[in-house]
Structure 1
Amino acid sequence: MADAAGRLTALAEEMLGAPLPVRVRAWDGSEAGPPAATGDGTAGVPTLVLRRRRALQRILFRPGELGLARAWVAGDLDIEGDLYEALDRLAGLLWERGPRPAPTRLPGALRDPRLRSAARELLALARPSLPPRPPAEEARPRRGPLHTLRRDKAAISHHYDVGNDFYELVLGPSMVYSCAYWEAPGASPGDNGPTLEEAQRAKLDLVCRKLDLRPGRRLLDVGCGWGSMVLHAAREYGVHAVGITLSEEQAAYARKRVADAGLTDRVEIRVQDYRQVPDRPFDAISSIGMAEHVGSAQYARYAADLHRLLRPGGRLLNHQIARRPEPDEEAYRVDRFIDRYVFPDGELAPLGRTVSQLEDAGFEVRDVEALREHYALTLRSWVANLEAHWTRAVRATSPGRARVWRLYMAACALSFERNRIGVNQVLAVRTPDSGAPGLPLRAREWRGR
């Protein structure tokens, strides 16, 4: 097959009704499109590489996000050049949904009677036979109701039980898998600003101050990960802390960190669902990057359970990613790449809905802080870590899993930068029935300590 790239580019542009914003290289070595960026700094665009004909087969058998994801994870599809720029250029053509209609997308074009000739030629290029097997890293959709105890544990295991060594390479020494807090104005990683570890410590400290943690108080950390929050709270604020997670690997890692720090008398790590915590009350609850797993069907119960576990006057810090509201909320669906490869059954909600549901459960919401730009910086730091340790990361998990995380984190960084998603810390209080103050009169007293 000669000049597959030229034929693909012409067909794609005919179907999309717009020029391709990247260069294309096909499995036969042919190239087409705008000039590519070069290593010597010459201006150009990233190159979309179809390493094998199977990449095109995957896209045709499963048009849209899932086919593209399978081709990427399997290594059939790749990008040379700046990954962020490539994703930014391609988003408007293939993935981005917004108030304005996107250009004609490839799957829809294949069904358009006006483009049947182009579609037939595309099929001839792909030479499809049987559908390629999905990559091993793909989570298979399960039947039955969402967010049962058993199903949630399996979903958490898919994402977090992929090797603690892998997460050490990506997250760095802090082992915090949530948005960091970059305190210095205008600071950015690698630009004489705080390091990722310093920014994660600043986030943990901010949460502790918002929760008004003090010696002897009792903290519950829901979705404790590798134990960083409970360790910081016990070591720096003298609390007694319980951390819960559904990941066996996280729990084992966190318990070792607690033992190494000599804090087993003040920190307990449990493999436990938030719906099964028997002991109460707690003086404070932190939920950092966990509520995205709860799901809309269970969120009212999540809020009610946390309210029940708090003592009157106790505080909740809910740190959660939020999506922008949809014009038609009933039409919202989870991104298929995220659902199959990253967070099975995960769901994002608009900030307003989260605040309303916390209030419905009896909480008094006292403060909301948006950290959208902070998460973009955090994600770029994680991608840089992954790329710097790529060979070790692949050995620690699998080539496909490493590719999943690289694409996922880079795409999310752009989504935060472009205000497609955000992240917020919501501070809420279980206000006593007497109506006594839930917080001191001076607003945001945790600032400047």
Structure 2
Amino acid sequence: MQDAAQRLKNLAEQLVGAPLPVRIRAWDGSESGPPSAPALVVRNRRALRHLLWKPGELGLARAWVAGDLDVEGDLYQALDAMAGFIWERDDDARSLRQALRDPEFRTAVRSLLALSAPFLPPAPPPEEMRRHGRLHLHTKGSDRRAISHHYDVGNDFYELVLGPSMVYSCAYWESPDGTLEDAQRDKLELVSRKLGLKPGMRLLDVGCGWGSMAIHAAREHGVSVVGVTLSQEQAAYARKRVAEEGLTDRIEIRVQDYRDVRDGPYDAISSIGMAEHVGSERYLEYARDLYALLEPGGRLLNHQIARRPQADESAYSVDEFIDAYVFPDGELAPVGTTVALLEKAGFEVRDLESIREHYALTLRRWVANLEAAWAEGQRLTSPGRARIWRLYMAASALAFEHNRIGVNQVLVVKTPETGASGLSLRTRDWRG
């Protein structure tokens, strides 16, 4: 009889119709596959039960988070090699139905069922976001729960991953050899210059995180800032930083939904890495709300991750791993869709800058920070959540590198009836 690793390898290759690009190491110590390739470690039979009860990405995610599935060797190399098996496949369900017509494959599945016994459904890891349907997405309550799931996992954990800047969005690199702190400072300054911030102006920072943009804008440009977040932990941390900087007279941090901000008008609005949480059905409302909060001539800088457009947009579905474990209810849209909705809300689009490669560099630094303090990272949150963050950040870095997703800064203006945008003739001087 074949050992467990060989049987698993044969089944995987029958399903995808191609040689397995990684080794498999099974719980019985057996190995099969290319000797020099990274190893996919199947630690126990429960990993198989996760996959059998939830075929596809969610089953893989549950096995990974639970620690039943692991990678030995270079994680980036392993994820790159397995991309065609996971993220780049057209339809897991269709592939499975086609494979089940093959008598040899059905025999292999029966063998796998026997190998995974007892065939009982394993409980999902506790880090998984629990839902009762998706009928009420992006209400204020559901958004608050989703944000808490992702951000309220411990400020100390985020300090370990993000470093002293505490900026959880794409940095802006002068060179791949630069420091993360310099690149994050340069990103905040780039946003400030695009917004044309000057002393005496009012800035609304939507999704203010741990307060980094608010502090930079107030300290370096003399503006008054209102920062809003739905995370209690972020708000407490940001207020402490503001007090330590002596900026309490110029910065107010609120736990507030952007839809509840009523004290406009503002001269400028920054939205950095927040719009991904808005949802497609709410995006026009988001754009119109921010438009209403701006003075005529005011600017919005919308910094947002984008996905590639699909031939059939109606077939788009969210990533199961990301939705269950990372950003519940988050949605990505093509940049063209975002620009069209901003224009529909009344904005004039003045500049769009893609900084896709910058996010890959940023994510690799975050992964390195986590890996360098792995034991501490697990202690600060949980072993499962540390595994989630390592996998999602490494996989996201590869997605940016291979142009599966991108990130863009879109500068828009609430242009007054006179048509005077307030921008210089050479826009990228970023002076009003």
1:168 aligns with 2:159: yes
CA contact (8 A) 1:18 1:103 kept: no
1:41 paired residue number: none
Partner amino acid, structure 1, of 2:136 = P
- Tell me the equivalent position of 2:275: 291
Aligned to 2:370: 386
Residues 329-357 of structure 1: per-residue CA shift (max 9 Å, x gap) = 00101000000000000000000000000
Q: Give 1:141 deviation, angstroms.
A: 2.0
Q: For residues 107 and 82 of structure 1, what CA distance do their matches in structure 2 show?
A: 29
Q: Secondary structure at the match of 2:343?
A: helix
Alignment of 1:264-413 (within 5 A): 264-413=248-397
Of 217, 224, 234 in structure 2, the residue corresponding to residue 240 of structure 1 is 224
Contact 1:372 1:422 in 2 (8 A): yes
CA apart distance, 1:310 = 0.4
- 1:261-295 per-position Cα deviation (integer Å, ceiling 9, x unaligned): 00000000000001000101100000000000000
* Amino acid in the other structure paired with 1:196: L
> Residues 227-280 of structure 1: CA distance to partner in whole angstroms, max 9, x if unpaired?
000000000000000000000000000000000100000000000001000101
Amino acid in the other structure paired with 2:288: A
Aligned partner letter, 1:135 = P
Residue in 2 that maps onto 1:256: 240
The DSSP-based 3-state class of the residue aligned with 1:444 is: helix
Given that 2:304 and 2:407 are in contact with CA atoms closer than 8 Å, whether structure 1 keeps it comes out as yes
The one of 43, 47, 63 equivalent to 1:51 is 43
How far apart are residue 202 of structure 1 and its match? 0.3
Aligned residues: CA RMSD: 1.7
Local SS of the residue matching 2:427:
coil
SS of the residue corresponding to residue 428 of structure 2 reads coil
Q: CA deviation at 1:93?
A: 1.7
SS in 1 for 2:351: strand
Given that residues 49 and 80 in structure 1 are in contact (C-alpha distance below 8 angstroms), is that contact kept between their aligned partners in structure 2? yes
The CA deviation at 1:12 is 2.0
Is residue 5 of structure 2 the alignment partner of residue 19 of structure 1? no
1:446 aligns with 2:427: no
| Kept in 2: contact 1:281–1:309 (CA 8 A) | yes
Query: 1:145 corresponds to which letter in structure 2?
Result: H
CA distance in 2, matches of 1:128, 1:421: 40
Name the aligned partner's letter for residue 13 of structure 1: E
Q: Is contact 1:15-1:105 (8 Å) kept?
A: no
Name the CA shift for 1:51/1:212 in 2 (closer, same or farther; >3 Å): same
Shift of 1:209: 0.3
Whether contact under 8 Å (1:61, 1:131) holds in the other structure is yes
- Greater alpha carbon shift after TM alignment, 22-31 vs 138-147: 138-147
Structure 1 CA distance for aligned equivalents of residues 205 and 47 of structure 2: 43
Percent identity of paired positions between Structure 1 and Structure 2: 71
Aligned partners of 1:397, 1:5: CA distance in 2, in Å?
33
Tell me which moved more, 103-112 or 133-142. Answer: 103-112
Residues 208 and 227, structure 2, Cα contact 8 Å, conserved in 1:
yes
The whole-number CA distance in structure 1 between the counterparts of 2:95 and 2:313 is 25
8 Å contact 2:113–2:119 — kept in the other structure?
no
Which TM-score applies when normalising by structure 2? 0.97
Q: Distance in 2 between matches of 1:212 and 1:321?
A: 23
Residue 178 of structure 2 aligns to a residue whose secondary structure is coil
Q: Aligned pair in 2 of structure 1 residues 332, 285: CA closer, same or farther (>3 Å)?
A: same
Are 1:69 and 2:61 counterparts? yes
The gaps in structure 2 that reach 5 residues or longer are none
Assess if the C-alpha contact under 8 Å between 1:63 and 1:106 holds in 2. no
Runs of 5+ in structure 1 lacking a partner?
36-43
Aligned to 2:101: 112
Map 1:138-287 onto structure 2 (within 5 A). 138-143=128-133, 144-183=135-174, 187-188=175-176, 193-287=177-271
Q: For residues 323 and 414 of structure 1, what CA distance do their matches in structure 2 show?
A: 14
Give the Cα–Cα distance (whole angstroms) in 2 for the partners of residues 372 and 175 of structure 1: 20
Distance 1:139 1:107 in 2: 26
Structure 1 residues 326 and 256: CA distance shift in structure 2, 3 A = same
Residue 109 of structure 1, CA deviation: 5.8
Q: Residues 413-424 of structure 1 correspond to what in structure 2 (within 5 A)?
A: 413-424=397-408
